[in-house]
């Protein structure tokens, strides 16, 4: 504004109309130039300030961070636009009367509002800012979680003049934190407490027990042969079954708890899933061992009824190990370890039972662990070896085939019979890796014998139930035959009756696929299982093997003789080759020859031999190769 008037009234009126500066007459050009530069600089500074405010608002919006400031001198609250958005309100200006802001806070639950008021008073009194989380109801069906930080400013007289802070919507962060907390403490599949929470529960019960002199027990449950379910029906089906078992266990435990009326809520049984197919319970408040046994037998009874899954009726059993604090252990880890040792002993007793811990269980468990580690090292360091036991044509006396038998050179396992460490392998995941190794190396050896022109008619390989139901069985066989240039008819697979009768539909499909490849199929230990004649006719078999328990006393026990003779006749009526195992003397051999048994193996003919030993026998048996069984 350039004005000729220099009185204060004119100047005041000019500023009221929007002027930002003035200059009076007579006009001073030098002063005018300075005033113009000043005005332009002020305008530029004002634009920068607006841009900075815009950037700050954008940062607050992107970070969902609102700013608020309470002015004690003016009794007014200054609120940023992002704060309005967080509170789901329309902006009413940067400065809001306290009465209006009080209306905003009506959406905060009373108990949270009381905490906010206490925090503000504490900050005014102590000068220490607060950090507080509170709920804010956006709508009837939506509540958000907000977090506010604050600081306070004082005058020189130490009178509060400003309380300022930031507010942020942390609803999503809280949801994620709760998810992380849930994942950390609960099993994602069943929703049960996981191993971490199970251990925390033991610690809690330990403190309670120390204070009250009342014992508590850790009950470990391991589902028997659950791996077979995963292998045969797939892991998705196994997961569905685990969820069903968890729900049934929890429901039955809750029911049982209501019936027995535990003396205190702190003694309610707590179920957890602590590993793949292993569940655990921390149980206190029992008045006697008999009551603990009653509870354990109740758990076992849950599994007497079948589980129904995707059209399958599945009978599942569980083994249980129990350790009691403080008599069996003084620490959480010892208690779990000793319950696990008792569980191992329950499985040794035939499964589907329970065992209380005793000191010798721990020794057995440590021995089991030592052997398992030894077997792992043997597999990793290629310390496994195949021996071969020849199978002879009883009438002609020549070698027809050989059975591949596993031996281990690892020091911990060398003196043990193969059945011992195979049992260990079957209790772990090792059986699949070992089974694959056996197929590959048996085919490799057969390939070498074929190249030398001394090969027997076949090499027989035993398949475990897990291996037979594994999804990679056919591919492993095909790869091994192709790698070592072995025609399929030179490989025979031996399966037990139990393996064949597990999930008959899938079994028949797999057997037909193997037979279509040209692979020979044999039932091992025939007569000890429960394979019916109707299934025996349906399975595409080549051979049945009479179990050694019948052969052992065949010449002195009329019952064994009758069973052996019946198996031979039945096999021949089904056009199957019949082989007897465990033949150790001439009397047994003569009985088998008399009743037209086709083949025999055992120490009477030859003990299991390394490959070179078998080669020597093959060279002495010129009619072995391509013989007719």
More confident residue, 539 or 445: 445
Q: Which CATH superfamily is domain 372-620 in?
A: EAL domain (3.20.20.450)
Q: What is the mean pLDDT of residues 374-403?
A: 89
Cα gap 456→422, rounded to integer Å: 26
Least confident segment among 54-68, 80-94, 156-170, 356-370: 54-68
Residue 407 confidence (pLDDT) above 70: yes
C-alpha angle 424/428/434, rounded to 5°? 75
480-528, pLDDT tens digit by residue?
999 999 999 999 999 988 787 765 667 888 899 999 999 999 998 786 6
CA 474 from chain center: how many Å? Answer: 27
Q: Provide φ and ψ at 193, rounded to 5°.
A: -55, 145
- Report yes or no: 491 and 524 within 8 Å, Cβ to Cβ: no
Q: What is the mean pLDDT of residues 560-576?
A: 92
Confidence (pLDDT) at 220: 95
* DSSP codes joined into one string, 20-63: S--EESSP-HHHHHHHHHHHHHHHHHHHHHHHHHHHHHHHHHHT
Token pair belonging to 493: 């697979």
Give residue 446's pLDDT: 97
Do residues 217 and 356 make contact, with C-beta atoms less than 8 angstroms apart?
A: no
Q: Can you name the residues that pair with 606 across neighbouring β-strands?
A: none
Q: What's the mean pLDDT when you consider all of the chain?
A: 84
Side-chain-side CA neighbours of 447 within 13 Å: the count stands at 13
Q: What is the pLDDT of residues 430-488, one digit of tens each?
A: 888 889 999 999 999 999 999 999 999 999 999 988 788 777 899 999 999 999 999 99
Q: What is the Cα–Cα distance from 626 to 629, expressed in whole angstroms?
A: 9
With CA atoms as reference, report the closest residue to 406 among 460, 474, 458: 460
Bigger pLDDT: 429 vs 189: 189
Rounded CA gap, 561 and 109, in Å?
Answer: 87
Question: Is the pLDDT assigned to residue 64 strictly greater than 70?
Answer: no
String of DSSP letters for 516-561: HHT-EEEEEEETSS---HHHHHHS--SEEEE-HHHHTTTTT-HHHH
CATH architecture of the domain with range 63-176: 2-Layer Sandwich (3.30)
Give all strands of the β-sheet with 318-325 in edge-to-edge order.
270-275, 278-284, 216-223, 318-325, 354-356
User: Is the confidence at residue 295, as pLDDT, over 50?
Assistant: yes
**β pairing state of 216-223 and 23-24:** unpaired
CB 490 within 8 A of CB 446: yes
Q: Does residue 427 carry a pLDDT above 90?
A: no
DSSP strands (E only) in 170-305: 216-223, 270-275, 278-284
pLDDT score, position 98: 60
- Residue 417 Cα distances to 365, 413, 424, 526, angstroms: 19, 8, 12, 21
The CATH fold of domain 187-357: Alpha-Beta Plaits (3.30.70)
Region 310-319 average pLDDT: 87
Which of the two residues, 322 and 102, has the higher pLDDT score?
322
pLDDT, tens digit, for every residue of 410-424? 665 565 666 666 777
Rounded CA separation 35/24 (Å): 12
User: Tens digit of pLDDT for each residue in 120-179?
Assistant: 999 999 999 999 999 998 887 889 999 999 999 998 888 899 999 999 899 988 888 888
**Token digits of residue 125:** 């009194």
Q: Alpha-carbon distance 571 to 495, whole Å?
A: 16
Query: With 70 as the cut, is the pLDDT of residue 85 above it?
Result: yes
Residue 224 in this model has a pLDDT that exceeds 70: yes
Mean pLDDT along residues 187-203: 91
- HSE of 229, CA atoms in CB hemisphere, 13 A: 24
| Window from 116-120, 372-376, 536-540 with minimum mean pLDDT | 372-376
Helix, strand, coil fractions of the chain, as percent rounded to 5: 50, 20, 25
Give the pLDDT band (50/70/90) at residue 239: very high
Query: Distance of CA 393 to CAs 12, 389, 443, 546, Å?
Result: 128, 13, 22, 15
Rg of the chain over Cα atoms, rounded to whole angstroms, equals 42
Confidence tier at 232 by pLDDT (50, 70, 90): confident
Main-chain dihedrals φ then ψ at residue 513, nearest 5 degrees: -65, -40
């Amino acid at each position: 504004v350039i004005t000729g008037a220099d009185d204060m009234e004119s100047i005041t009126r000019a500023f009221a109309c929007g002027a930002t500066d003035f200059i009076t007459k007579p006009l001073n050009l030098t002063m005018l130039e300075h005033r113009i530069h000043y005005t332009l600089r002020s305008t530029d500074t004002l634009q920068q300030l607006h841009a900075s405010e815009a950037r700050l608002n954008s940062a607050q919006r992107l970070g969902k961070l609102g700013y608020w400031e309470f002015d004690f001198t003016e009794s007014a609250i200054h609120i940023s636009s992002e704060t309005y958005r967080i509170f789901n309100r329309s902006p009413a200006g940067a400065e809001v009367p306290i009465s209006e802001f009080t209306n905003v806070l009506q959406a905060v639950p009373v108990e949270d509002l009381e905490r906010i008021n206490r925090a503000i008073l504490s900050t005014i009194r102590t000068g220490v800012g607060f950090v507080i989380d509170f709920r804010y109801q956006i709508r009837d069906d939506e509540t958000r979680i907000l977090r506010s930080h604050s600081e306070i400013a004082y005058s020189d007289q130490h009178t509060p003049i400003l309380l300022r802070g930031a507010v942020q919507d942390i609803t999503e962060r809280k949801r994620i934190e709760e998810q992380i907390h849930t994942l950390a403490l609960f099993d994602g599949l069943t929703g049960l407490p996981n191993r971490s929470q199970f251990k925390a529960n033991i610690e809690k019960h330990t403190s309670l027990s120390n204070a009250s002199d009342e014992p508590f027990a850790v009950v470990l449950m391991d589902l028997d042969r659950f791996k077979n379910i995963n292998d045969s029906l797939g892991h998705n089906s196994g997961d569905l079954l685990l969820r069903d078992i968890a729900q049934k266990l929890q429901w039955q435990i809750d029911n049982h708890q209501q019936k027995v009326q535990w003396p205190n809520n702190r003694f309610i049984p707590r179920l957890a899933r602590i590993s793949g197919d292993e569940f655990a319970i921390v149980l206190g408040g029992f008045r006697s061992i008999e009551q603990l046994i009653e509870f354990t037998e109740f758990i076992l009874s849950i599994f007497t009824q079948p589980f129904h899954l995707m059209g399958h009726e599945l009978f599942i059993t569980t083994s249980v190990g129990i350790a009691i604090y403080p008599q069996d252990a003084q620490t959480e880890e010892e208690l779990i370890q000793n319950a696990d040792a008792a569980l191992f002993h329950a499985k040794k007793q035939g499964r589907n039972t329970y065992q209380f811990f005793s000191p010798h269980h721990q020794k057995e468990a440590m021995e089991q662990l030592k052997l398992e580690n030894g077997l792992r090292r043997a597999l990793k360091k290629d310390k496994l070896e195949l021996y071969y036991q020849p199978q002879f044509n009883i009438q002609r006396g020549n070698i027809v085939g050989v059975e591949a038998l596993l031996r281990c050179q690892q020091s911990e396992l060398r003196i043990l019979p193969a059945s011992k460490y195979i049992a260990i392998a079957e209790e772990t995941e090792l059986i699949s890796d070992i089974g694959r190794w056996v197929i590959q190396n048996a085919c490799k050896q057969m390939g070498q014998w074929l190249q030398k022109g001394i090969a027997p008619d076949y090499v027989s390989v035993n398949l475990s139930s897990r291996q037979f139901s594994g999804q990679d069985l056919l591919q492993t066989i095909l790869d091994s035959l192709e790698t070592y240039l072995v025609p399929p008819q030179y490989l025979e697979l031996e399966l037990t009756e139990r393996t064949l009768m597990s999930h008959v539909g899938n079994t028949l499909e797999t057997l037909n696929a193997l037979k279509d490849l040209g692979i020979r199929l044999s039932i091992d230990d025939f007569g000890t299982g429960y394979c019916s004649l109707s299934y025996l006719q349906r399975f595409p078999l080549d051979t049945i093997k009479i179990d050694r328990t019948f052969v052992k006393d065949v010449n002195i026990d009329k019952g064994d003789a009758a069973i052996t003779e019946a198996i031979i006749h039945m096999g021949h009526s089904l056009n199957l080759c019949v082989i007897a195992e465990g033949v150790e003397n001439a009397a047994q051999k003569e009985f088998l020859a008399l009743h037209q048994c086709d083949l025999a193996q055992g120490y009477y003919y030859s003990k299991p031999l390394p490959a070179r030993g078998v080669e020597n026998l093959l060279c002495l048996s010129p009619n072995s190769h391509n013989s007719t069984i």
